[in-house]
Structure formats: C-alpha cells, structure tokens
A = this chain, B = another copy of it.
C-alpha cells in the first residue's frame, strides 16, 4: 500500500502527474477515511507503462481507450482496430527515426573528417 509521494518516487513521475492520470481515468486509488490516496504496489509498473505509452506518442485518451484491453484481455473490433493503428503508427515513427538517425550519423562522420 503506497501513498502518492511514495508511488511518485518509485515510478519516477511527479505527484502532480499521478493526480493528473487519475483525472484522466487512467489510475484508480483507494482513499483513507481522511481522503488521502492509497495505491497497490502494482501501480508502480502500471505508471511506468503509461510513461512508455506517452513517450511513444499516445495521448491520455488513447491510453484510456486501451485500458479495457490491457485489463481484461478482451477487445471489441474497434479496440483491436485501434491497437493495430497505434502499432502501425509506432512502427512508422521508428522508421522515421531510423532515417533521421542515419542522416545525423552521416553528418557526424562528415564533421569528423572535416573538423
């Protein structure tokens, strides 16, 4: 059982971010009688996963729509379509990054021989 500050530490995000995730419907929390948030240990992994998804260019809304798949393993046609959509988008982005990487490497080589 973690309080919000501890979860923030363990998962490497800010307290504000965790409250924001809850606001967006991504992260549930129990409450103490006084109203303080309490999380399961498993929340650490979940928050880290969210960070990866954000870094991959998904929005809160995308993630919210993926949650049912992640939690239940069950999906309707729409969700499966979205999963593939995001998958393809990420693949495309990787290709683009690879292309930029090659160009930067060329530049680096070029400026090593031409200082």
Contact surface of A with B, Cβ cutoff 8 Å: 49, 52-53, 55-56, 69-70, 73-75, 79-80, 83-84, 86-87, 90-91, 93-94, 96-101, 103-105, 107-108, 110-111, 114-115
What's the number of copies of this chain in the assembled complex?
2
Question: With A and B bound together, what is the CA distance between A34 and B93 in angstroms?
Answer: 41
- B residues near A70, Cβ cutoff 8 Å: 107
Q: Are B90 and A108 in contact (CB under 8 A)?
A: no
- B residues near A86, Cβ cutoff 8 Å: 104
The 3 A-B residue pairs whose C-beta atoms are closest, nearest first, are: A75-B111, A56-B100, A87-B104
> Nearest-CB distance from A96 to chain B (Å)?
6
Inter-chain pairs besides A52-B99, A94-B101, 18 sampled, C-beta below 8 Å: A52-B103, A55-B96, A55-B97, A56-B97, A56-B100, A70-B107, A73-B111, A74-B111, A74-B114, A79-B111, A90-B97, A90-B100, A90-B104, A91-B101, A94-B94, A94-B97, A94-B98, A97-B97
